[in-house]
Amino acid sequence: MDKLILGEKEFNSRLFTGTGKFSDKSLIKPMLEMSKSEMITLALRRVDFDMPQENILNYIPKNVTLLPNTSGAKTAEEAVKIARIARTVGCGNFIKIEIINDMKYLFPDNEETIKATKILAKEGFIVLPYMMPDLIAAKRLEDAGAAAIMPLGSPIGSNKGLQTKYMIEILIENCKLPIIIDAGIGRPSHAAKAMEMGAAAVLVNSAIACSENPIKMGKAFSLAVQAGREAYLAKLAEEKKYAEASSPLTGFLFEE
């Protein structure tokens, strides 16, 4: 069977989702069911320990793996702190590093991200760093002990799809780690394309959560991810310059 393995854990679904942006948290559960997503990211700040009834964790079924992220961190040091707290409060070993110093595009800071990855991987975390697609930085993240690389397609929440397609293809061709496309995926066709290119998974948050119908959209992305993956495994046809007839054209009707 075609499973994604991260940190010894197996995933049947290659669609990761997010909790951010849901106006109504009660939609998270049915969205997870329809999308079959088995991994969901959440900002640690959303985990409200004082008001347990508001705690985002109440809305996530037990079979779904938590991927706490370090959003709000501007340095490796801050990201490391958040990661440790996340583990302490029971969010598990997975951590998505998000270190952001740019408030307009929310672009990740590759240099600080590499530092944080090194520290957290040594501490036994399964580290998934969000990064600006850059082969040199990706190689350093591999050396630093990341479990996968999460390059962005375009800015978070922009729905602009794979603007960085060229660089992502290079990461997929040249990295040993799974490549998980993390931001900017706004349409199922973007997700299908990422999977056809050989991405190991995609993370889709606002395109689902901000949709008029997050449950329907969760299903749409789930189908698209499967479609792209199946096509990748079955091998895509080459493009051809000229036409190739599907039907016989060499004579009219029953003539030879």
- Which residues make up each annotated binding site for 1-deoxy-D-xylulose 5-phosphate? 157, 183-184, 205-206
Give, as one character, the DSSP assignment of residue 98: -
Longest Cα separation, the chain: 83
3-state SS class at 90: coil
113-142 residues in contact with a second copy (CB under 8 A) are 132, 134-137, 139
Residue 211's closest CA among 18, 13, 16?
Answer: 18
2-41 residues in contact with a second copy (CB under 8 A) are 18, 20-21, 41
Does position 176 interact with a second copy (CB under 8 A)? The reply is no
Contact 195, 11 (CB under 8 A): no
Minimum CB separation of residue 8 from a second copy in Å reads 26
Q: How many residues bind a second copy (CB under 8 A)?
A: 103
Residue 157's closest CA among 14, 253, 18?
Answer: 18
Does position 83 interact with a second copy (CB under 8 A)? The reply is no
96 in catalytic set: yes
The contact mask relative to a second copy for 212-251 (x = CB under 8 A, - = no) is xx--xx-xxxxxx-xxx-xx-xxxxxxxxxxxxxxxxxxx
Q: Which of 3, 9, 29, 96 is catalytic?
A: 96
- The two structure tokens encoding residue 194: 């990422």
Identified binder of a second copy from the candidate list 7, 64, 142, 163, rule CB under 8 A: 163
Minimum CB separation of residue 4 from a second copy in Å reads 17
Residue 173's closest CA among 143, 205, 151, 188?
Answer: 151
Does position 1 interact with a second copy (CB under 8 A)? The reply is no
- The two structure tokens encoding residue 201: 């998974």
The residues carrying an active-site annotation are 96
